[in-house]
Amino acid sequence: MNKKERCLKIRETLERMYPNPPAPLDHRNAFELLVAVALSAQTTDKRVNLVTPALFARAPNARALAKLEVEEILTYIKTVGLAPTKAKNLKKMAEALVAHHGGEVPADMEALEQLAGVGHKTASVVVSQAFGQPAFPVDTHIHRLAKRWGLSDGSSVEQTERDLKRLFPQECWNTLHVQIILFGREHCPALRHVATQCPICSWAGSKRA
């Protein structure tokens, strides 16, 4: 099976398993998604989903969040990884949204990446899931699986993103990246993974992974 055929079969398998994949992070709008993704670094989505309801009840938009002191923001997110740094970044991010974007989340990668605590992956998730723009955010699951499936060499997250964008049609990026994340969590863990029992690795596994 060549790489093109492998990619097609991967897509078909994931479509059968996850025809309508839910967004991993709970949110009701672009602002909530931006905050949730910013909080998710080095923290599970499950943990983020536990802390955001109370935070959003207190600060439902950028203007409200910008008015909070860092210490108060920290009380809502103290159980997530790197909480003190994230609390500072959330306040700075909210202030920038108010000062430069009228309190709204910009639907622009470059503008998003200028915000405190927002890197390329976070910006990619926001434009993809909040605004429907084609993007292929690469998290640890996607990076790991792309190597296992022989779709990228695993040299860097940036290279994996380039390779996946080249291999898969643009119209499937937004759905496919969520499907791969869900598959990685449920069927393709980093440790104690039995490739022969995996619905995809059993036939698409790379000898290098």
Degrees to nearest 5, angle at CA 192 with 149 and 176: 35
Angle between helices 30-39 and 45-58 (to 10 degrees): 130
* Tens of pLDDT, residues 54-100: 999 999 999 999 999 999 999 999 999 999 999 999 999 999 999 99
**pLDDT grade for 206, boundaries at 50, 70 and 90:** low
Select which of 86, 91, 121, 147 is catalytic. 121
Select which of 86, 91, 139, 163 is catalytic. 139
**At a CB cut-off of 8 Å and minimum separation 6, what does 68 contact?**
58, 59, 91
Asked if 121 is an active-site residue, the reply is yes
* Tens of pLDDT, residues 113-122: 999 999 999 9
Asked if 139 is an active-site residue, the reply is yes
**At a CB cut-off of 8 Å and minimum separation 6, what does 178 contact?**
18, 21, 22, 23, 24, 129
User: pTM for the complete prediction?
Assistant: 0.93
* Tens of pLDDT, residues 141-197: 999 999 999 999 989 999 999 999 999 999 999 999 999 999 999 999 999 999 999
* Tens of pLDDT, residues 8-40: 999 999 999 999 999 999 999 999 999 999 999
> Nearest 5°: phi and psi at 183?
-65, -40
For residues 41 and 82, what is the distance between their CA atoms, to the nearest angstrom? 8
209 pLDDT exceeds 90? no
For residues 209 and 205, what is the distance between their CA atoms, to the nearest angstrom? 7
Domains of the chain and CATH, by start: 3-22+136-204 (1.10.1670.10), 30-129 (1.10.340.30)
Q: What average pLDDT does this structure show over 129-142?
A: 96
pLDDT, residue 208, reads 40
